Amino acid sequence: MQKLRLILLASGLALILPVSGHAQSVSDLENLSPEDRRAYIESMSPDERAAMREKWHSESASMTKAERAAKKAERRAKWESMSEEEKAAVRAKRQEHKAKMREKWQSMSDEERAAAREKMGKRKHGAYGEHRRQQSDDSATAE
């Protein structure tokens, strides 16, 4: 049911927002260089980026286990084909990003952190997490 909702939402947004960028699939963007991909995504409006993310999520949700395994193997092969210098650059970039996100987190107020935690929880757990939270709220109220 959740997959169906995601598919309907993504296709509805694609119809509402007639932008050629929405026709791009994940594989189309993967073929771009990192700089071109970043420039393309940054040129999109926040609504366009949200629609693109929804489309990617629906594509990912519709993949079979075999397709996911193939994608994972492809990423692993790409990583293993990289030189040590390239791997070190990727690791350094990842550490930079983590430090930037840590700094952003530490600069947030308690209210902003609570809102961010809730948003991350919903993104991570989806409907299942919401169901579990509702159950724990109900059991806490019953006691």
Helices (H), the chain: 2-16, 26-30, 34-42, 46-61, 65-81, 84-106, 110-142
pLDDT score recorded for residue 85: 95
Average pLDDT over residues 46-60: 87
The answer on pLDDT for 97 being more than 80 is yes
Helix axes 2-16, 46-61, angle to 10 degrees: 140
Q: What percentage of the chain has pLDDT greater than the value 70?
A: 68
Read off the DSSP letter of residue 35: H
Angle at CA 116, nearest 5°, toward 112 and 118? 120
pLDDT score recorded for residue 140: 53
State the amino acid at position 26 in one-letter form.
V
The answer on pLDDT for 107 being more than 80 is yes
pLDDT band at 110 (very low <50, low <70, confident <90, very high): very high
